[in-house]
């Protein structure tokens, strides 16, 4: 039972790290856009996905992903 808890904690920590890393990359992208397009307006809305959030992508019969609007 202790191994399961440790494994679960390791995965949660890893996922949280991935979120932070991706969030950082997003702001690096914004900085690059500002550098290349100085007079542009850049608006970003970030919604954190929770288990209760609706899915944004689904898979079809050929196992291909598509965006759900």
pLDDT of residue 55: 61
Domain that holds residue 59: 2-67
Residues of the chain with pLDDT under 70: 1, 15-19, 47-49, 51, 53-57, 66-69
Contacting residues for 41 by C-beta, under 8 A, at least 6 apart: none
Task: Give per-residue pLDDT as tens, 18-31.
Answer: 667 777 888 888 88
Q: Number of folded domains in the chain?
A: 1
């Amino acid at each position: 039972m202790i191994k399961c808890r440790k494994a679960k904690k390791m995965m949660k920590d890893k996922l949280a790290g991935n979120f932070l890393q991706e969030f950082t990359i997003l702001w690096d992208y914004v900085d690059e856009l500002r550098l290349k397009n100085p007079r542009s307006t850049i608006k970003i809305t970030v919604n954190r996905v929770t288990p209760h959030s609706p899915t944004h992508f689904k898979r079809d019969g050929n196992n291909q992903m598509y965006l759900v609007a």
